[in-house]
Structure 1
C-alpha cells in the first residue's frame, strides 16, 4: 500500500519531508515500511510551488519480508525498512491516519493546501511525467486515481501526491535529510564550511555539496524549515558516512530518501517546435546574434530553433561558467540548450548548454601592404583600404587575416552548484554515452536508460 503526500510546506516552517519523517516514526509499530521513502520533485516552473515543489511517497505493509535495513533514526530509535511487504493494509484506515496528520499540519501552518493519496496500485507512469514536465489539472489527476482504485483527501496537494505516486523510481539518486529540534526552527544553522568543502573528496558518490564560485554551502537550507542539512548522492550507505562526518547541532535524527533529483526528467526534448512558458526543454539551436552582457552581469544571446523561431538564451551571473561560455558564442555556432521558460515567453533560462559546433573564424591582424610602395595601407571605411603615400586602393579582403580555431569551446557545460535546480543532472553523474545523447538532443528522454 502506498501513501503519497504533498503541499504541506509553508513559509513559516511546514515541510512535507518532515511530516513524512514524523509519520514513519509514529507508524512503525503498526506497519512495516517497504523500501526507501521517496522524495519526488515536480515541475520547477509551476508558479504556486512551495520551495522545491517536492512530494513524498512511501510504501507500507502489515509486516516486512526479506532483509531489513536502516533508513533513518529519530530520538535514538532506528527507522527500519524491508525489501518487501507481507499482509494487506486497510486503505481507508490508513487514509484516516494520514488525513488527521495533514489536518493538524494545516492548522499549524498557513499558505498551504495539503493533500494525500492512498492506494494499492500506482497510477500509470505517464502521470508522473505530466507532473514533472507540465501542469496537471485536478480532474485529470483524479481520473488517474479513480482508474487505479486509489483513495484521496485534501486540497491542491492531491495533484502533486498523485503525480508523485506514479513515479517508478527510474533515474534515482538519494538524499539524507537531518531534522532540527522544533525550538531551533528559524534559527541560523551552524554548519562548518571546511567540512562541507571536503565532502565530495572524501565521499565521491555525493554531489552538489558546495559552490566554490559563489562560496555557498548548498547542503544547508536558507528557510525556517525543520531541515538541518541535506546531502545528496548515489550511494545511501556513503551518505550515512558523509552525514556522520559533519559537526552538527543536537538534533533528533535523519531520514534517507530515494529521489528523482539529478534526473533531468523535467526536460522536454524539442525537435522544431517552439517552447512554451511553464516548461523546461532540451532544445537544439543555432546562435543568431552576438552575446550581450547586461546590468547585474547577466548574459543573453539570440538563437534560432530548428523550426525557425527565435529564442533568447539567458545565463545569469550566479551560473558562473555557463555565463562565461555564453559570452564566447558567435553567430553560426550550433548548441543544445537545456533550461526553462518561466514568466517571460521567448527566454530560456539555461541550466546546461552543449556547444555542438563552434566553427573557426577569421581574425584581422593587419591592414594590407601597398603593392606599389610597400607601405601599410589605411582603412577607407566601406571602400576598403588606401595607401597614404601613393594613393593606391585595395578591397576589404586584402587585409591580413589568421584563422582562429574555436574547437576548445565544444563540449557540455552546467550552471554553478548553487544555481542548479533540484532536478538538474550534474555532469559528474553523466557518462560518455549519456552526454552524447544530450548533445544529439534525442527525441526520447536521454536520461531514462
Structure 2
C-alpha cells in the first residue's frame, strides 16, 4: 500500500506561541480518528541551529500514512492543510509555514530528498532550489506566505531513517492555557533523571541545580524528555509530577544529540556564514573576560588564519575551562558562526577538545640542600639564604620550574543548560577515553 509522506515546518512563533510538534500531534490524533493508519513513527528533525530565521530549535516534522491511492492521498493532504491553516501562528509576520507531501511505495524516507536534508542540517538551502527539487519529484506542496517553510518540510521527509535514533516525549497544555512557568515539581525531575540516566539526558543540570525538562516560552509544551530508549523516556515522564492538565502527549523519533550539524573545516578561510564548524588550531591569545561575563580568545589555524572564539555567559563554569588555555595550546573547537557586524567574526563555542598543552615554566628560588625548603634571595649577585635552617649559598642561582596547568587534555562540554538540541551529550561518549565535563571549583 502506498505511503504519503507529510513534511511540515515554520509554524511557531517566539511571541505568539504554538509549536510545530504540537501541530504534528494534532494531525496524528485527528487522522487516526479518521481511520488513517500510520506507516512509521512520527519524526522531529532538527535542522541548522545557526540559521538566522529560525525559531527556538529549528525543528520540522515528518509524518507517514498509508493511503489507497492518489485520491485518498489528496484527501489526507487537504485535512492536514486545514489543520495547519487554523493552528499555525500566521499572525506573526515572521512565521512562514510550508507543507509538503510525496507519495512513495513504502515508508522509507525518499532517498531523492536526502541531499536537501544534509544541506539544510548544516547550511542554508535556497527556496528556489527546494521548489525545483520538489517539482521534479512530483511532490504536492502548500504554503501560506513566501513558502520558506517548504525547505524544512522537504528536509524533514528526506532525513534518512538512521539519522533519527533518539526519542523525545513531549507533553502539551492547551494553546489557550495561561502563559507562564510550567508547574513541574523539581524534586520529581531529579528522581526521574537519577532513575533513567543515561538512557535519558539533559533532564536536570546538576551544576546549576536547575530542571531542564520545561521550556520557558509561550508555546504549548509543558515538558520534554529525550533519550535513545523509548521505554526509558516514557518511564522518566511517568515519574514527573506536573501541576497542570496535560492535554495530549506525543513521542517523536528525532536526530537530537547526534552532533550531525557540524561542518569540518581545515582553515578559517573555509568557514561559511551561518554554519557550525569544527576547526583545529593553536591558541594565539590568552583567554580573557570581555564585555562583562563573556570569555574570548583568538584561534590560529595551520595556514595562519585567525578567528575569535567566544564562551558566552550562559556556558557558566565552562568559561573557567576556556580561561585555563594558554597561547600555543593545540585545540579543536566546535561552534556556530553567525556574522554580527561590526563585531569581528566569532565562533560561538559549543565544544572544546584540548589536544596538546604547552609546558609552562618560570624562574624560582632554589631549594635548600640541607632541609629542602625554598630559599630566599640575599640580593642581586649575593646568592640565597634558607630562612628555615639558616644555610647560606652565595653561589646559588634561580632555577627553572614547571608550572601546573589548570586543565588536562580531553573533551569539554558546557553544562546541559547551554546545550543545543543537536549537541552530542556527554552520555553519548561515556565509553570513550578522556572525556571530561566542565566542573566548578
TM over 0.5: yes
Alignment TM class, shorter chain as reference: 0.7 to 0.9
Contact preservation (8 Å) 2:47, 2:122: yes
RMSD: 2.7
- Cα deviation for residue 107 of structure 1 reads 7.0
Asked if 1:308 is matched to 2:316, the reply is no
Contact preservation (8 Å) 1:60, 1:89: no
What is the aligned partner in structure 1 of residue 45 from structure 2?
40
Q: Helix, strand or coil for the counterpart of 1:331?
A: coil
What is the aligned partner in structure 2 of residue 104 from structure 1?
86
Summarize deviations over 1:365-389 as a string: whole Å, max 9, x none.
Answer: 33899xxxx98265xxxxxx65599
What is the aligned partner in structure 2 of residue 190 from structure 1?
183
**CA separation of 1:315 and 1:96: change in aligned 2, threshold 3 A:** same
Partners of 1:327 and 1:238 in 2: CA distance? 37
Partners of 1:55 and 1:401 in 2: CA distance? 59
What is the aligned partner in structure 2 of residue 3 from structure 1?
6
**CA separation of 1:273 and 1:338: change in aligned 2, threshold 3 A:** same
What is the aligned partner in structure 1 of residue 400 from structure 2?
401
- Cα deviation for residue 199 of structure 1 reads 2.2
Q: 2:102 aligns with which of 113, 119, 122?
A: 119
**CA separation of 1:235 and 1:143: change in aligned 2, threshold 3 A:** same
Q: Helix, strand or coil for the counterpart of 1:126?
A: helix
Partners of 1:107 and 1:326 in 2: CA distance? 40
Asked if 1:203 is matched to 2:196, the reply is yes
Unaligned runs of 5+ in 2: 105-109, 369-374, 385-393, 436-441
**CA separation of 1:277 and 1:182: change in aligned 2, threshold 3 A:** closer
Contact preservation (8 Å) 2:192, 2:237: no
What is the aligned partner in structure 2 of residue 423 from structure 1?
422
- Cα deviation for residue 108 of structure 1 reads 6.0
Q: After alignment, is 422-431 or 92-101 more displaced?
A: 92-101
Q: Helix, strand or coil for the counterpart of 2:142?
A: strand
Partners of 1:216 and 1:332 in 2: CA distance? 36
What is the aligned partner in structure 1 of residue 29 from structure 2?
25
Asked if 1:140 is matched to 2:140, the reply is no
Q: Helix, strand or coil for the counterpart of 1:198?
A: helix
What is the aligned partner in structure 1 of residue 230 from structure 2?
236
How many residue pairs were aligned? 398
What is the aligned partner in structure 2 of residue 376 from structure 1?
377
More strand by percentage: 1
What is the aligned partner in structure 2 of residue 150 from structure 1?
139
**CA separation of 1:288 and 1:231: change in aligned 2, threshold 3 A:** same
What is the aligned partner in structure 2 of residue 93 from structure 1?
75
Summarize deviations over 1:292-348 as a string: whole Å, max 9, x none.
Answer: 112432211111012321111111222134211110101111111011011345211
Summarize deviations over 1:56-91 as a string: whole Å, max 9, x none.
Answer: 0111114xxxxxxxxxxxxxxxxxxxxxxx877743
**CA separation of 1:435 and 1:57: change in aligned 2, threshold 3 A:** farther
Q: 1:259 aligns with which of 254, 257, 271?
A: 254
Asked if 1:55 is matched to 2:64, the reply is no
What is the aligned partner in structure 1 of residue 334 from structure 2?
338
Q: After alignment, is 135-144 or 266-275 more displaced?
A: 266-275
Q: Helix, strand or coil for the counterpart of 1:56?
A: strand
Contact preservation (8 Å) 1:263, 1:425: yes
Contact preservation (8 Å) 2:324, 2:405: no
Q: Helix, strand or coil for the counterpart of 2:161?
A: coil
**CA separation of 1:50 and 1:375: change in aligned 2, threshold 3 A:** closer
Contact preservation (8 Å) 1:106, 1:113: no
What is the aligned partner in structure 2 of residue 177 from structure 1?
170
**CA separation of 1:232 and 1:435: change in aligned 2, threshold 3 A:** farther
Partners of 1:407 and 1:315 in 2: CA distance? 17
Partners of 2:136 and 2:432 in 1: CA distance? 38
Q: After alignment, is 398-407 or 140-149 more displaced?
A: 398-407
Contact preservation (8 Å) 2:43, 2:252: yes
Contact preservation (8 Å) 1:169, 1:259: no
Partners of 1:114 and 1:185 in 2: CA distance? 25
Partners of 1:139 and 1:200 in 2: CA distance? 45
- Cα deviation for residue 153 of structure 1 reads 1.0
